[in-house]
Amino acid sequence: MSEESNGDESEAETEAEGEAAEEEQSADLEAIRTQLEALNDDLEGLQSDLEAAETEDDLDVVEADIEEFRADLEEIEIPEPPEEEEDEDEDDEESEPAPEEELQETYDEIESDVSDLEDDLEDKRGPYAGDVIGEIDGVSSTITGTRWAEEGDGELIDATEAFLADLNDLLGTSVSLPGGLEPASGAELGENGQEEKTVPDELGATLDEATAAVDAADLDPDEDAETIAGLLEATDEFESAVDDATEWTDLEVREQLRREGFFDVLDHIKDFPPELHALKVHEKRGNVDQILLAYDSLGSEFMEEHCLEALERMGPEEAIDPMVQKANRRDEAAIRILGKIGVEDDQVVDTLLDYVDSNPTLQRPSFRALGEIGAEDAIQPIADQLVADEPDVRSWAARALGLIGDTRAIDPLADVLEDDEQDRVRASAAWALNQIGTQDALEIVAEYEDDRAYLVQAEAENVDLEPAA
SS3 content of the chain, % helix, strand, coil (to 5): 70, 0, 30
Cα–Cα separations (whole angstroms), residue 303 to 116, 257, 273, 279, 298? 59, 13, 9, 9, 7
Q: Give residue 19's domain range.
A: 3-79+98-124
241: buried, middle or exposed (CB in 10 Å: 19+, 13-18, 0-12)? Answer: middle
**Residues 169 and 235 occupy one common structural domain:** yes
Residue burial 4-40, b: 16+ Cβ < 10 Å; e: rest: eeeeeeeeeeeeeeeeeeeeeeeeebeebeebbeebe
Please answer whether residues 373 and 342 qualify as being in contact, where contact means their C-beta atoms are separated by less than 8 angstroms: yes
User: What's the whole-number mean pLDDT along residues 412-423?
Assistant: 95
**Residues 133 and 40 occupy one common structural domain:** no
**Residues 112 and 134 occupy one common structural domain:** no
Return the higher-pLDDT residue of 299 and 315. 315
Asked whether residue 291 is assigned to any structural domain, the reply reads: no
Structure confidence by residue, pLDDT tens digits, 174-229: 999 998 898 864 444 344 444 567 899 999 999 999 999 999 999 998 889 899 99
Please answer whether residues 439 and 465 qualify as being in contact, where contact means their C-beta atoms are separated by less than 8 angstroms: yes
CATH classification of the domain holding 403:
1.25.10.10
Which has the minimum average pLDDT: 36-40, 145-149, 160-164, 264-268? Answer: 264-268
Asked whether residue 411 is assigned to any structural domain, the reply reads: yes
Asked whether residue 264 is assigned to any structural domain, the reply reads: no
- The last residue of one of the domains, among 229, 249, 269, is 249
User: What's the whole-number mean pLDDT along residues 139-145?
Assistant: 95
Structure confidence by residue, pLDDT tens digits, 102-113: 888 888 898 899
Ramachandran region, residue 261 (left: φ > 0; alpha: ψ -120 to 50; beta: rest): left
Give the span between the Cα atoms of 207 and 378, in whole angstroms: 52
How much is the pLDDT for 264? Answer: 87
How much is the pLDDT for 193? Answer: 42
Please answer whether residues 164 and 263 qualify as being in contact, where contact means their C-beta atoms are separated by less than 8 angstroms: no
Cα–Cα separations (whole angstroms), residue 232 to 67, 214, 215, 372? 30, 11, 14, 61
How much is the pLDDT for 189? Answer: 36
**Residues 120 and 137 occupy one common structural domain:** no
Partners of 195 in the beta sheet?
189
**Residues 72 and 145 occupy one common structural domain:** no
**Residues 453 and 391 occupy one common structural domain:** yes
Asked whether residue 298 is assigned to any structural domain, the reply reads: no
**Residues 28 and 46 occupy one common structural domain:** yes
Asked whether residue 49 is assigned to any structural domain, the reply reads: yes
Asked whether residue 107 is assigned to any structural domain, the reply reads: yes
pLDDT band at 249 (very low <50, low <70, confident <90, very high): confident
**Residues 115 and 56 occupy one common structural domain:** yes
How many domains does the chain divide into? 3
Q: What angle do CA 160, 162, 163 make, to 5 degrees?
A: 65
How much is the pLDDT for 169? Answer: 96
* pLDDT of 449 strictly over 70: yes
**Residues 138 and 59 occupy one common structural domain:** no
Please answer whether residues 40 and 73 qualify as being in contact, where contact means their C-beta atoms are separated by less than 8 angstroms: no
How much is the pLDDT for 5? Answer: 56
Mean pLDDT score across all residues of the chain? 87
End-to-end, the C-alpha distance of the chain in Å comes to 128
Give the span between the Cα atoms of 332 and 346, in whole angstroms: 19
How much is the pLDDT for 185? Answer: 46
Asked whether residue 328 is assigned to any structural domain, the reply reads: no
Give the span between the Cα atoms of 103 and 81, in whole angstroms: 10
Half-sphere exposure of residue 184, counting CA atoms within 13 Å on the CB side?
A: 16
**Residues 415 and 453 occupy one common structural domain:** yes
**Residues 237 and 169 occupy one common structural domain:** yes
Asked whether residue 192 is assigned to any structural domain, the reply reads: no
**Residues 144 and 224 occupy one common structural domain:** yes
DSSP codes, 11-79:
HHHHHHHHHHHHHHHHHHHHHHHHHHHHHHHHHHHHHHHHHH--SHHHHHHHHHHHHHHHHHHHT--PP
Residue type, 30: E
Look up residue 197 and give its DSSP letter: P
Q: What is the percent of the chain where pLDDT is above 90?
A: 55
